[in-house]
Amino acid sequence: MKYVSTRGNSPALAFDDVLLAGLAVDGGLYVPSQWPEFGPSELRAMAGLDYPEIACRVIRPFVDGAIPDDRLARMAADTYRDFGHPAIAPLKQLGANTWLMELFHGPTLAFKDYALQLVGRMFDDVLARRGERVTIVGATSGDTGSAAIEACRDRASLDVFILFPEGRVSDVQRRQMTTVAADNVHAIAVQGTFDDCQDLVKAMFGDAVFRDAHRLSAVNSINWARVMAQIVYYVVAAVRLGAPDRAVSFAVPTGNFGNVLAGWAAWKSGLPVDRLVIGTNRNDILFRFFETGEMALAGVEPTISPSMDIQISSNFERLLFDMFDGDGDAVSRWMADFREHGSVAVDDSRLVEARRKFAAARFDDAETLGVMKEAFDQTGELLDPHSAIGWAAARRCRGNPETPMVCLATAHPAKFPEAVGTATGERPGLPARMADLFEREERFTVLPNDLGAVQRFIEAASGGAGS
């Protein structure tokens, strides 16, 4: 299988090159040039398999030999072995036909682990076979940094440097990044804001000499491999609940559009998905798009669901490419318009088509606290603020009540103890395997908000190649 850029002006690549490239050279995102077809008999055969086995079957056609089958099987088994629940992604019944899929049993207690843990292994595998090393750099406002660190730790072909704003992440978030005892992991507290961190990362990628000397790379959410690995749990949920003989709907708290896009990709690949419900907080650009067909920028406001405080949902471009029937030039023009004017629209027929699959609902912080309380009172579940928005969106955009609705729980409630406590009066505890987080030794470097200082640090600390 080949992958093409959503902007139509980059060479088609095989999976391993797409994995390492991340973004296409024309600024677009890679998408499969055609979708695999998981037919009814194949889905039926998956119903009795465990999570890693389903992962192999789902991923195999997308990887298409770029990672040999036996290695893929070993990676999948290794990836999910240490997750905190034997079902990996357990389904809990919350109501007559409503289910919660818990995607927070990985090492950092958020759904990003389900893909990143596998993608880190894939990077290492492909690089080792090529005899290459890369340096992963990233900026975090809290949550994605720890998921990236956990995905890259102890991988021989990678060094990982994560920049976070000193004093501006929570204690749990900082400790999840700074207590990882691995020589290739470097947590850097920058004396500045999250925007400063992000600017430093952008400047390093913009410095061609530095970028090439250290083979800078990223594991951010535009990487196709992450979307691909997320398709797995949609398939797992659907086959457990009756696919291929029964369609299933999903409700997904959404920021960068990566998670819900994986649900859409599952549907494109033959999974019977009835409806994809998007939940947003006050940063509601996606909600407004599905209401009006217009994508219009607004300022980002901080909320109690910070992982969804995003204005530009980068993965949306992959859906757009499909809405424009694979016309990369049209996508390029649309994106240029958006950058220039801060708003751009699709015509009605395309909006109507998109609304056949997607529905969206928006909740502000007060409403979110309210639904967290309602969920607790009605079902006994403590939902983190992100998961609560998904659950509430599912109720609002339910559709056919006979279709099972799966709400994706994207974070463990203990990651957001203040909000959960305020809403419900309960204080969720960290799972037992993380209970000693506050006793573990921290290791990080404080650096000024200065590009030269950060580059010198990376230069000195990189383990392998480089100049």
Ligand X SMILES: *Cc1c(COP(=O)(O)O)cnc(C)c1O
| Distance in Å, CB of 237 to ligand X, minimum | 16
Return the closest-CA partner of residue 342 out of 392, 388, 284, 298. Answer: 298
Residues 6+ apart with CB under 8 A from 428: 382, 412, 413, 414, 417, 420
Cβ 392 vs Cβ 363: under 8 Å: yes
| Distance in Å, CB of 257 to ligand X, minimum | 5
| Distance in Å, CB of 92 to ligand X, minimum | 17
CA–CA dist 40, 50 (Å, integer): 18
424 vs 462 by CB, closer to ligand X: 424
146 vs 184 by CB, closer to ligand X: 146
| Distance in Å, CB of 410 to ligand X, minimum | 3
66 vs 261 by CB, closer to ligand X: 261
Asked whether the bond before 86 is cis by omega within 30 degrees of 0, the reply is: no
Task: Give residue for tokens 């030039």.
Answer: 329
94 vs 110 by CB, closer to ligand X: 110
10 vs 424 by CB, closer to ligand X: 424
Cβ 271 vs Cβ 43: under 8 Å: yes
Cβ 182 vs Cβ 440: under 8 Å: no
CA–CA dist 82, 161 (Å, integer): 24
| Distance in Å, CB of 412 to ligand X, minimum | 9
CA–CA dist 147, 412 (Å, integer): 14
Going from the C-alpha of 209 to that of each of 123, 182, 360, the distances in angstroms are 23, 27, 44
Which residues are at the interface with ligand X (CB under 6 A)? Answer: 110, 112, 143, 221, 253-259, 307-308, 386, 410-411
CA–CA dist 247, 334 (Å, integer): 33
70 vs 171 by CB, closer to ligand X: 171
CA–CA dist 233, 243 (Å, integer): 13
Which residue in the list 2, 92, 112, 357 is annotated as catalytic?
112
| Distance in Å, CB of 260 to ligand X, minimum | 6
Using a 10 angstrom Cβ sphere, with 0-12 exposed, 13-18 middle and 19 or more buried, the burial of residue 93 is exposed
Helix or strand run (H / E) with residue 280: strand 273-280
DSSP 201-226: HHHHHH-HHHHHHHTEE---TT-HHH
217 vs 410 by CB, closer to ligand X: 410
| Distance in Å, CB of 198 to ligand X, minimum | 16
123 vs 257 by CB, closer to ligand X: 257
Cβ 411 vs Cβ 110: under 8 Å: yes
**What's the full length of the chain, in residues?**
467
Cβ 282 vs Cβ 301: under 8 Å: yes
CA–CA dist 456, 224 (Å, integer): 31
- Catalytic-residue membership of 112: yes
Going from the C-alpha of 41 to that of each of 38, 46, 129, 264, 403, the distances in angstroms are 8, 9, 35, 21, 21
CA–CA dist 155, 456 (Å, integer): 23
Task: Give residue for tokens 């300022």.
Answer: 299
| Distance in Å, CB of 112 to ligand X, minimum | 6
| Distance in Å, CB of 307 to ligand X, minimum | 3
137 vs 411 by CB, closer to ligand X: 411
CA–CA dist 49, 72 (Å, integer): 16
CA–CA dist 431, 423 (Å, integer): 20
* Residues labelled catalytic: 112
